Structure 1
């Protein structure tokens, strides 16, 4: 019997921004998110910040996971966040960053609006649990 109150699946965009061509981690997290029951969209490689913003807005995602290994996180991630703000989508989007992020850069990313930074070796269950606990539904 349906109550009419069924929640839709958590919608996630896993994004590769900039010239970073390494996407194994993005594929792994996308698969883990799918296996956890999330709806997952993968951006593909070499996306500009504006393309990521457009995809996140058009797909009405709950979570934007940015995978970045290029070292350009302090430049590219804030551009994505500013783009989301310009569309009024920042407040409704949980932003995660995964990849090789030096410890000294994590606080700047969080100050810019990133909810959490996940490095290599983070258990998938930790990331999935974080999403479930922090997505505003």
Structure 2
């Protein structure tokens, strides 16, 4: 039973990491998550990995959605995952990556603990359904 089925809202942090200034997709997914009944926090632009980790831990989120289009996913996402692990939050946070991630980089990110990677053209419904089915129970 997901946390939403128990009457609790799924808490999500939608985060923009690094120098990537393209935030339209992050705003679209944040609004879609809100419309789906999730509680959504948006990090704002140009956040450092440690700022994202701090926000995720302090807000006690169930889901961390990292939006990245800069091509720096292979260095920034592992820093976030390492930070979550340092705080003991890696195992109970569903981490998603959205953006342009080449196929050859996806397995490395999943090995770091990323649960799913959603590229361009992924339907919002597919993303919402994935969160509902995989958000950790609290």
TM-score range, shorter chain: over 0.9
**1:92-125, Cα deviation, whole Å (9 max, x unpaired):** 1000000010011011100110000000110000
Runs (4+) off by over 3 Å = none
Q: What is residue 84 of structure 1 aligned with on the other side?
A: 84
- Structure 2 residue 56 is matched with structure 1 residue 56: yes
Secondary structure at 1:95's aligned position in 2?
strand
Deviations, residues 27-74 of structure 1 (Å, cap 9, x unaligned): 000000000000000000000000000000000000000000000000
Structure-2 residue corresponding to 1:93: 93
Distance 2:84 2:58 in 1: 11
Please tell me the root mean square deviation across aligned C-alpha atoms, in Å: 1.1
Work out whether 1:112 is the aligned partner of 2:112.
yes
Q: Secondary structure at the match of 2:122?
A: coil
1:133 alignment counterpart: 133
Separation of aligned partners in 2, 1:108 and 1:84: 17
Match of 2:20 in 1: 20
Give 1:136 shift: 1.6
State the alpha-carbon separation in 1 of the partners of residues 36 and 6 from structure 2.
17
Question: Matched residues in 2 for 1:73 and 1:113: separation?
Answer: 13
User: Structure 2: which 5+ runs fail to align?
Assistant: none
Query: Which structure 1 segments of 5+ residues have no match?
Result: none
TM normalised by structure 2 equals 0.94
**Distance of aligned partners of 1:106 and 1:6 in 2 relative to their CA distance in 1, 3 Å threshold:** closer
Q: Per the alignment, in what secondary structure is the counterpart of residue 57 of structure 2?
A: helix
TM value normalised by structure 1: 0.95
Matched pairs, number: 133
Structure 1 residue 6: Cα displacement: 5.0
How far does residue 7 in structure 1 lie from its aligned partner after superposition?
A: 2.8
Larger relative contact order (C-alpha < 8 A, sep ≥ 6)? 2
